[in-house]
């Protein structure tokens, strides 16, 4: 069965021509959470925005296509495309403070969102807004600045989901929340996934936190997906040394003190080293790694990796802590 949302060859460039998102393919299945993880600057937010056709200038979507339920969004006339996308794909943006007007009560804001998506009367929209907010434990009469970080995030999720989209892109919805609130926000997303068969792209820089609800994971580095597969398989036996590095970085259950940083920093877009862009930071780099950039190839059931290491070499890497 083909995925509900399919993105192919997404390519986003910056003003100077630097490639920010480089040929990304994504399949989002109904009723499944796909995590998109990687360090800051990898291109995660731009990938999520590209799915909605909302790449902000001066960045520009240069190539790629998105189908939703088999409908090629690019082939629709612009008006129809906006409508199909708007009704079908919702976004919880990375910066929640900027997404809510601080001086307008949340109930009134959500009512506006609902009226933009459906032919509702004012009273009807207000009532649905209040109900949607009550469901996530937020009072419609509150102003956004009075909400806690967790309440604000729940209100944004309620707003994103109120028009009943089929796909949700949630960009770092738990960043800056403390652990217990993170769990509550992830559980809210998971509950809606289960109840409504929502397809979710869950963007995070923290591989550890998203594992809780994700079925699949895609790991992004320097604008490309370098590893993807079922979350359990990838977390228990990462095939890319970068994935292994992210895992060592995530706080472990029971031993919160042990975080091993990945040495060095990601390359700046437009200034990629030759070959594999992770090679300068990779504990297993060899001559082949600087000769050519590895493509994303099959690596076991439902898995793909962009690395020259064999399965055995990758496994050995996981057993020897740096």
Binding partner of residue 301 among Mg ion, ligand ADP, none, CB cut-off 5 to 8 Å per kind = none
204 binds Mg ion per the rule CB under 5 A: no
Task: Give yes or no for a contact between 50 and 213, defined as CB atoms under 8 angstroms apart.
Answer: no
Phi, psi dihedral angles at 151 (to 5 degrees):
-65, -40
Among 10, 37, 51, 59, binds ligand ADP (CB under 6 A): 59
78 binds ligand ADP per the rule CB under 6 A: no
DSSP 277: T
Among 58, 119, 257, 301, binds ligand ADP (CB under 6 A): 58
CA 196-9-31 angle, 5° bins = 10
Q: By Cβ distance, which residue is nearest to Mg ion?
A: 45
Tokens matching residue 132: 């949607």
Per-residue binder mask for ligand ADP (CB under 6 A), 93-112, x = binder: --------------------
CB-count burial class (<10 Å; 0-12, 13-18, 19+) for 41: middle
Q: What is the Cα–Cα distance from 18 to 100, expressed in whole angstroms?
A: 31
Q: Which is nearer to ligand ADP, 7 or 317 (CB)?
A: 7
Q: Which is nearer to Mg ion, 49 or 129 (CB)?
A: 49
Phi, psi dihedral angles at 29 (to 5 degrees):
-90, 150
Among 107, 173, 238, 269, binds ligand ADP (CB under 6 A): 269
Tokens matching residue 153: 């995030």
Task: Give yes or no for a contact between 3 and 28, defined as CB atoms under 8 angstroms apart.
Answer: yes
Binding partner of residue 67 among ligand ADP, Mg ion, none, CB cut-off 5 to 8 Å per kind = none
In this chain, which stretch among 26-34, 39-47, 120-128, 132-140 interacts with ligand ADP, using CB under 6 A? Answer: 39-47
Cα dihedral sign, 163-166-167-168: positive
Task: Give yes or no for a contact between 280 and 273, defined as CB atoms under 8 angstroms apart.
Answer: yes
From first CA to last CA, the distance across the chain in angstroms is 41
Distances (CA, A) of 78 to 12, 167, 185, 228: 20, 20, 34, 32
Per-residue binder mask for Mg ion (CB under 5 A), 88-127, x = binder: ------x---------------------------------
Which residues have C-beta within 8 Å of that of residue 218, sequence separation ≥ 6? 26, 34, 35, 36, 37, 225, 227, 228
Nearest distance, CB of residue 38 and Mg ion, angstroms: 9
Binding partner of residue 77 among ligand ADP, Mg ion, none, CB cut-off 5 to 8 Å per kind = none
How many Cα atoms sit within 13 Å of 318 on the Cβ side? 18
In this chain, which stretch among 28-36, 87-95, 103-111, 120-128 interacts with Mg ion, using CB under 5 A? Answer: 87-95
176 binds ligand ADP per the rule CB under 6 A: no
Nearest distance, CB of residue 58 and ligand ADP, angstroms: 5
Among 6, 13, 34, 45, binds Mg ion (CB under 5 A): 45
Nearest distance, CB of residue 38 and ligand ADP, angstroms: 6
174 binds Mg ion per the rule CB under 5 A: no
Q: Give the 3-state secondary structure of residue 305.
A: strand
Write out the residues near ligand ADP by the rule CB under 6 A: 14, 20, 38, 40-46, 56, 58-59, 269
């Amino acid at each position: 069965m083909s995925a509900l949302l399919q993105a192919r060859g997404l390519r986003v460039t910056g003003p100077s021509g630097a490639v920010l998102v480089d040929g990304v393919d994504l399949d989002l299945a109904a009723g499944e959470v796909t995590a998109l993880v990687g360090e800051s600057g990898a291109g995660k937010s731009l990938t999520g925005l590209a799915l909605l056709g909302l790449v902000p200038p001066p960045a520009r979507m240069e190539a790629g296509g998105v189908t939703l339920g088999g409908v090629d969004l690019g082939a629709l006339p612009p008006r129809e495309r906006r409508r199909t996308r708007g009704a079908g794909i919702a976004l919880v943006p990375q910066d929640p403070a900027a997404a809510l007007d601080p001086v307008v009560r949340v109930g009134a804001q959500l009512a506006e969102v609902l009226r933009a998506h459906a032919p509702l009367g004012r009273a009807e929209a207000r009532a649905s807004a209040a109900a949607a907010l009550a469901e996530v434990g937020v009072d419609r009469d509150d102003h956004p600045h009075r909400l806690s970080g967790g309440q604000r995030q729940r209100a944004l999720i309620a707003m994103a989901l109120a028009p009943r989209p089929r796909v949700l892109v949630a960009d770092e919805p738990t960043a800056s929340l403390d652990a217990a609130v993170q769990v509550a926000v992830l559980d809210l997303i998971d509950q809606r996934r289960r109840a409504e068969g929502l397809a979710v792209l869950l963007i995070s820089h923290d591989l550890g936190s998203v594992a809780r609800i994700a079925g699949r994971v895609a790991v992004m580095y320097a604008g490309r997906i370098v590893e993807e597969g079922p979350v359990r398989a990838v977390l228990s036996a990462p095939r890319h040394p970068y994935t292994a590095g992210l895992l060592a970085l995530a706080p472990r259950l029971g031993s919160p003190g042990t975080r091993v940083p990945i040495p060095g920093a990601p390359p700046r877009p437009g200034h990629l080293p030759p070959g594999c862009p992770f090679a300068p930071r990779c504990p297993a780099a060899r001559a082949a790694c600087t000769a050519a950039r590895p493509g994303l190839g099959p690596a076991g059931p439902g898995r793909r990796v962009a690395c020259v290491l064999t399965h055995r070499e990758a496994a050995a890497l996981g057993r020897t802590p740096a």
